[in-house]
Chain A
Amino acid sequence: MKKVFAIALGILAAIGGFVDIGDIVFNVEAGATFGYQLLWAVVIGVGGIITYAEMCGRVAAASERAVFDVVRERLGVGTGLVALVSGQFVNLMTLAAEIGGIAIALQLLSGLPYRVLLVLGVVALALVLWFMPFGWIERVFGYCGLALLVFAVAAIKLEPDWGSVAHGFVPSTGSGDLAVYGYFVVGLIGAAMIPYEVYFYSSGAVEERWRPKDLGINRANVLVGYSLGGLLSFALMISAGALLLPAGISAELLGTVALVAEVPLGQVGLILALVGMLFAISGAAIDSAFSGAYNVAQFFGWEWGKYRRPAGAPRFAIAWFVMLVLGFLIVVTGVDPILVTELSVIFSVVALPLTYTPILLVANDRAYMGAHTNGRLANVFGVFYLVVVLVIAVAAIPLLLLSNMGQG
């Protein structure tokens, strides 16, 4: 029974962390622009996050320390600080995008003014972060986010050409504008491997007091959780490819995503899609706010942890509160949350090597890992994905410019 509950950590990470506003935006835009041709890029991204989240969980279980704790010690203060600053910048942009996304989802549900809902949304997030126990956050946001499975039903109901869908899992250079295609490849892999997911996952594992005996749970979490996240990504892209591409509709609004469920499934589909988006985006906002606080607290050696009361870890509590306020201030200026989402994903891609290189180094360090050092399989995947991450990090900004942010 305890193992079943432990897997909830993976489900939260998958729904609230994996399927966030970045995944929703990039998968639906990619489906609307290229149909099913980019499904293979989601597979690459899911494989990458499974590989590195498993390593992070194993590092946490073996060393009882989270990523940034180890990064500072392993890489030194200078390099660690660069990783911290870039990680925090990306975390903040992601959080701003998620806060904007929450307000839009609430507006689509209620019809109330966007700015009022921005305030309500951020206050609700603060209350959840302050009062709700970790276990409840996992359950409420993880399980309600599962309403996004409505897109799997929508994808089936829209009767896509399954032969073309299957063909989309084979890597190709695609048809159409190569720069736009490359931009979406980078965005899809980046959205799947966005850094705050592993920061949150490893810190959560330390909070849950994982030990080497929990390594089975770690593997189950990443495989079940992130695979489920990957299935939702496939569903989003397939349903957008089946509905929006033939109609010549580009997906530049969150409402368009909800419309993809409404057209085949009516009001029930619409409401499930909006509720799923609301909880998945809120869960991701919580993850990214906590990630920001975890990183800074671990780097500077402060007391940290959701399991501690705010009075027991005051600087940690202040850190997530400041993240929340800054994220709110960014979106309250009126900047388009979808634009912030795309930028946060592309800039996170640039920062990916700084996140994943230290994890691979530490997972191979016997001084930290003892008998749980990376095996051959973990290293084959780890090195492969490090190369992928380096390539897309170099390509991200040029593709952003050449593709005019995917608009051709």
Chain B
Amino acid sequence: MRRVAILLTLATLVGACGAPSSVSKQAEALASTAAEGALLAGDVADARSTGAFAKTHARALLEQAEEVRAASASPELGSLAGEIVSALRQLASAPTDRVVASEVEERLETAAKDAEEIEESAA
């Protein structure tokens, strides 16, 4: 019984480490990443962030979107994840450029809305 419990726990932990598998969960994860990226980009555009923070956090968000892209449950989600990755990469490579950040903010806001629509239609 104890072994079963340990195996179940380990299986859950392994499962929890990677990207979610269902369309709605993946869309939810992408909406969250895009919305957070948009907030970050907005702060960069308003000169309210630091270069080190913007670069590091944009990269971390980018990795989250990459995970979803690698395991995407539909072509639509894969393409959306690619758009989010591309926008965040742009922010990470120019973390103090206010003009770039402003563009990235718009792209990520749109991506977040698209992800929410996919999530709602999948629910």
In the complex, B17 has a CB within 8 A of chain A? yes
With both chains docked as a complex, state the minimum distance between the C-beta of B63 and any C-beta of chain A, in angstroms.
9
Chain B, residues 100-117, CB within 8 Å of chain A (1/0): the string is 000000000000100010
Query: Is A111 touching B52 in the complex (CB atoms < 8 A)?
Result: yes
Expressed in whole angstroms, the Cα–Cα distance for A171 and B24 within the complex equals 31
Expressed in whole angstroms, the Cα–Cα distance for A247 and B5 within the complex equals 36
Query: Is B36 touching A270 in the complex (CB atoms < 8 A)?
Result: no
- The residue that B16 contacts in the complex, of A249, A266, A339, with Cβ under 8 A, is A339
Query: Is A248 touching B116 in the complex (CB atoms < 8 A)?
Result: yes
Q: Which residue of chain A has the shortest Cβ distance to B31 in the bound complex? A: A248
Stretch of A92-100, A290-298, A383-391, A396-404 that contacts chain B:
A396-404
Query: Is A253 touching B116 in the complex (CB atoms < 8 A)?
Result: no
Query: Is A256 touching B16 in the complex (CB atoms < 8 A)?
Result: no
In the bound complex, residues from chain A placing their C-beta under 8 Å from that of B47 are 267
Query: Is B32 touching A400 in the complex (CB atoms < 8 A)?
Result: no
Chain A, residues 247-258, CB within 8 Å of chain B (1/0): the string is 111101101101
In the complex, A79 has a CB within 8 A of chain B? no
Query: Is B55 touching A253 in the complex (CB atoms < 8 A)?
Result: no
Chain A, range 262-298, C-beta contacts under 8 Å to B: 262-263, 266-267, 270-271, 274
Interface class of chain B by DSSP: helix
In the complex, A177 has a CB within 8 A of chain B? no
Query: Is B16 touching A397 in the complex (CB atoms < 8 A)?
Result: no
Q: Which residue of chain A has the shortest Cβ distance to B17 in the bound complex? A: A339
Stretch of A49-57, A102-110, A128-136, A208-216 that contacts chain B:
A102-110
Query: Is A400 touching B52 in the complex (CB atoms < 8 A)?
Result: no
Chain B, residues 64-108, CB within 8 Å of chain A (1/0): the string is 100000000000000000000000000000000000000000000
Query: Is A405 touching B61 in the complex (CB atoms < 8 A)?
Result: no
Expressed in whole angstroms, the Cα–Cα distance for A249 and B57 within the complex equals 14
Query: Is B52 touching A108 in the complex (CB atoms < 8 A)?
Result: yes
Known: A108-B56, A249-B39. Is A270-B8 also a contact (CB below 8 A)?
Answer: no
In the bound complex, residues from chain A placing their C-beta under 8 Å from that of B57 are 108, 253, 255-256, 258-259
- How many chain A residues touch B (CB < 8 A): the figure is 31
Known: A248-B116, A397-B5. Is A405-B53 also a contact (CB below 8 A)?
Answer: no
With both chains docked as a complex, state the minimum distance between the C-beta of B9 and any C-beta of chain A, in angstroms.
6
In the bound complex, residues from chain B placing their C-beta under 8 Å from that of A274 are 53
- The residue that B53 contacts in the complex, of A109, A336, A404, A407, with Cβ under 8 A, is A109
In the complex, A188 has a CB within 8 A of chain B? no
In the complex, A343 has a CB within 8 A of chain B? yes
With both chains docked as a complex, state the minimum distance between the C-beta of B50 and any C-beta of chain A, in angstroms.
6
In the bound complex, residues from chain A placing their C-beta under 8 Å from that of B39 are 247, 249, 259, 263
Query: Is B50 touching A267 in the complex (CB atoms < 8 A)?
Result: yes
Expressed in whole angstroms, the Cα–Cα distance for A404 and B29 within the complex equals 15
Expressed in whole angstroms, the Cα–Cα distance for A249 and B61 within the complex equals 12
Query: Is A404 touching B12 in the complex (CB atoms < 8 A)?
Result: yes
Query: Is B16 touching A107 in the complex (CB atoms < 8 A)?
Result: no
Expressed in whole angstroms, the Cα–Cα distance for A107 and B8 within the complex equals 34
Query: Is B53 touching A401 in the complex (CB atoms < 8 A)?
Result: no
In the complex, B13 has a CB within 8 A of chain A? yes
Known: A111-B51, A262-B49, A401-B12. Is A253-B43 also a contact (CB below 8 A)?
Answer: no
In the bound complex, residues from chain A placing their C-beta under 8 Å from that of B36 are 247, 249, 256, 259
In the bound complex, residues from chain A placing their C-beta under 8 Å from that of B35 are 247-249
B interface residues, Cβ below 8 angstroms from A: 5, 8-9, 12-13, 15-17, 20, 25, 28-29, 31-32, 35-36, 39-40, 43, 46-53, 55-57, 60-61, 64, 112, 116
15 contacts across the A-B interface (CB closer than 8 A) = A108-B53, A111-B52, A247-B39, A249-B32, A249-B36, A250-B29, A255-B61, A259-B57, A263-B39, A267-B49, A339-B13, A401-B9, A405-B12, A407-B16, A407-B20
Given contacts A336-B17, A339-B16, 20 further A-B contacts (CB under 8 A): A107-B52, A108-B53, A109-B53, A247-B35, A247-B39, A248-B28, A248-B31, A248-B32, A250-B28, A255-B53, A255-B56, A258-B53, A259-B39, A262-B53, A267-B48, A270-B50, A271-B50, A343-B13, A400-B12, A401-B8
The 3 closest A-B pairs by CB, nearest first: A111-B52, A255-B57, A266-B48
